[in-house]
């Protein structure tokens, strides 16, 4: 009992200096000053069971498959407070355990979201504290902390389009609701002059300084409340010690936990999560985490809480991604600390669970990303993701979970009074059309690489609107690799 009261007292001491009542959250997202960016790649997700999750480095001319959709989204659902700091039709949050997309809702402080989720979050873990996707989730077979949930992840603020019923890539409409077969494309960009360091003096009034890749430095804001401990943050058991777990308009989450090898879900078995968060003052004041020891709060000296850093570059929009590779730390975001006992920068220590005072001696924290990521580095990451996906698909083919196809495939689109065409799509790409009833469609599978493909047979009206469609997965194996590998 005495220990519990002591911890409570210490938490109360850590409350921010201001004491006015919370202000209702603003409904309009903040204005963002433009900065130069370059497109690095695109992510395409076909919202149908078996749909391809693909990546393109040539502006959509060609695509490489890095995973599959297991369950499509059927709805958009109300999101979390910080989603209101993002622009409609953009990535609201990028995280090891999910990508959140704001679907319209200019007048809402809690706009609706669509979510793309990794394999381990097909079900909600025990003691999960984040946004529960439910029917708004596009669930995939891609492991947390890999591919589009790591080095290929988008940044907060990246634009998202949707192709629904063959109407082309359009901005997400207000109050958009996902349909089976819709195709989402995320245009992933990086700043031309990205961040190299974020340095934080971990004390009240301490300076938050950012350094860009060109060497220029800027004092961005100040520390309102230092961080003294760590807590159990979602997805940190898949993130890595010192790696970035989440970035959105109201938070940077840094993991202090190693990547777990456990087959159990987070929240089951021994605790494996650990981390701390950096939050802007206004956002922090609106949450039940205000004053928590594992939250570092930043803002401006002598000012009352008002929207300031929320949803703004460089910390909470567009600059900080999920890059982390223990074998290539120069191309990774890594956190380091200084303590009372050491004047030198040290790696972030491994810290698991809720420990409210374990970082009390930390005087400085920095996030560093030494080298900007180039095209060669990106292609290496894509190749690794493609190879991992092909391994998973091969296992399915070997176990007979999908049909194997060699040579010519002939299918028929169902004739319909409204139909003008039959169309065959392979992994979301139009392969062939027929305007002659009964709409026989042929596909020479030797034109495609061996491996798994999603086949969609559509009937379309004269305007290209889908009248009917059906899907099935197929393993193309013209070189008889299933048996030989």
What residue segments make up the domains of the chain, in order of their start?
2-30+193-370, 37-192, 402-484
* pLDDT tens track for 407-427: 888 888 877 778 888 889 888
User: Is the confidence at residue 139, as pLDDT, over 90?
Assistant: yes
pLDDT score at 158: 97
* CATH number of 402-484, picked from 2.60.40.10, 3.40.50.1580, 3.30.470.20, 3.30.70.20: 2.60.40.10
* pLDDT tens track for 277-286: 999 999 999 8
pLDDT score at 196: 97
Residues 316-324: what's their mean pLDDT? 96
Residues 198 and 195: their CA atoms lie apart, in Å, by 8
Instruction: Select, from the ranges 236-240, 288-292, 420-424, the one with the highest average predicted confidence (pLDDT).
Output: 236-240
Residues 438 and 458: their CA atoms lie apart, in Å, by 12
* pLDDT tens track for 449-460: 777 788 888 888
User: Is the confidence at residue 45, as pLDDT, over 60?
Assistant: yes
Burial of 64: CB neighbours in 10 Å, binned 0-12, 13-18, 19+: middle
User: Is the confidence at residue 269, as pLDDT, over 50?
Assistant: yes
**Higher per-residue confidence, 438 vs 255:** 255
- Confidence category of residue 22, pLDDT binned at 50, 70, 90: very low
Radius of gyration of the chain (CA): 24
User: Is the confidence at residue 347, as pLDDT, over 50?
Assistant: yes
User: Is the confidence at residue 8, as pLDDT, over 50?
Assistant: no
Which of 26, 145, 142, 43 minimizes the C-alpha distance to 101? 43
Average pLDDT of every residue of the chain: 87
Residues 194 and 213: their CA atoms lie apart, in Å, by 5
pLDDT score at 400: 57
Q: Give the number of other CB atoms < 10 A from CB of residue 361.
A: 14
Predicted structure pTM score: 0.84
Of 241-245, 383-387, 407-411, 475-479, minimum mean pLDDT range: 475-479
* pLDDT tens track for 73-96: 999 999 998 999 999 999 999 999
**Higher per-residue confidence, 198 vs 166:** 198
Which of 66, 29, 99 minimizes the C-alpha distance to 389? 66
Q: Identify whether the C-beta of residue 174 lies closer than 8 Å to the C-beta of residue 336.
A: no
pLDDT score at 19: 32
Q: Identify whether the C-beta of residue 181 lies closer than 8 Å to the C-beta of residue 47.
A: yes
Q: Which residue, chain included where needed, has tokens 């290929």? A: 152
Q: First CA to last CA across the chain, in angstroms? A: 61
Which of 36, 414, 340 minimizes the C-alpha distance to 194? 36
Residues 248 and 163: their CA atoms lie apart, in Å, by 25
pLDDT score at 1: 37
* 327 Cβ contact partners less than 8 Å away, ≥ 6 residues apart: none
Of 84-88, 206-210, 227-231, 305-309, minimum mean pLDDT range: 305-309
């Amino acid at each position: 009992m005495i220990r519990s009261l002591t911890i409570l007292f210490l938490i109360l001491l850590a409350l921010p200096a201001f004491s006015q009542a919370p202000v209702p959250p603003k409904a309009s997202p903040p204005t963002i000053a433009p900065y130069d960016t370059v497109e690095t790649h695109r992510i395409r997700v076909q919202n149908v069971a078996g749909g391809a999750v693909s990546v393109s480095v040539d502006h959509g001319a060609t695509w490489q498959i890095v995973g599959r959709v297991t369950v499509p989204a059927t709805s958009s659902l109300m999101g979390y407070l910080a989603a209101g700091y993002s622009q409609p039709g953009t990535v609201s949050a990028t995280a090891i355990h999910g990508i959140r997309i704001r679907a319209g809702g200019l007048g809402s402080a809690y706009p609706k979201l669509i979510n793309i989720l990794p394999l381990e979050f097909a079900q909600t873990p025990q003691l999960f504290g984040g946004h529960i996707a439910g029917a708004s989730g596009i669930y995939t077979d891609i492991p947390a902390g890999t591919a589009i949930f790591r080095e290929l992840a988008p940044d907060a603020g990246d634009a998202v389009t949707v192709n629904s019923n063959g109407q082309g890539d359009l901005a997400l409409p207000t109050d958009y609701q996902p349909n089976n077969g819709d195709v989402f494309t995320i245009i992933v960009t990086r700043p031309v002059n990205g961040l190299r360091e974020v340095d934080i003096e971990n004390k009240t009034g301490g300076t938050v300084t950012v350094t860009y890749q060109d060497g220029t430095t800027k004092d961005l804001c100040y520390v309102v409340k230092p961080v003294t401990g760590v807590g159990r943050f979602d997805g940190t058991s898949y993130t890595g010690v010192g790696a970035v777990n989440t970035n959105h308009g109201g938070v940077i989450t840094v993991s202090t936990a190693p990547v777990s090898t456990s087959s159990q879900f987070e929240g089951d078995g021994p605790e494996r999560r650990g981390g701390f968060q950096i939050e802007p003052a206004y956002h922090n004041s609106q949450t039940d985490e205000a004053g928590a020891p594992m939250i570092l709060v930043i803002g401006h000296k002598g000012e009352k809480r008002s929207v300031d850093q929320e949803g703004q570059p460089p910390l909470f929009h567009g600059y900080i991604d999920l890059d982390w590779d223990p074998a290539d730390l120069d191309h990774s975001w890594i956190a380091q600390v200084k303590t009372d006992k050491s004047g030198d920068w040290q790696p972030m220590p491994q810290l698991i669970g809720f420990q409210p005072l374990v970082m009390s001696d930390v005087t400085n924290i920095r996030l560093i990303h030494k080298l900007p990521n180039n095209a060669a580095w990106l292609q290496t990451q894509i190749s690794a993701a493609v190879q991992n996906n092909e391994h998973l698909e091969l296992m399915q083919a070997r176990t007979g979970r999908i049909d194997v196809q060699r040579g010519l495939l002939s299918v028929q689109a169902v004739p319909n009074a409204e139909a003008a065409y039959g169309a065959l799509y392979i992994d979301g790409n139009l392969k062939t059309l027929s305007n002659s009833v009964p709409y026989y469609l042929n596909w020479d599978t030797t034109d495609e690489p061996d491996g798994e493909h999603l086949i969609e047979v559509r009937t379309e009206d004269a305007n290209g609107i889908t009248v009917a469609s059906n899907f099935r997965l197929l393993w193309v194996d013209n070189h008889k690799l299933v048996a030989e590998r």
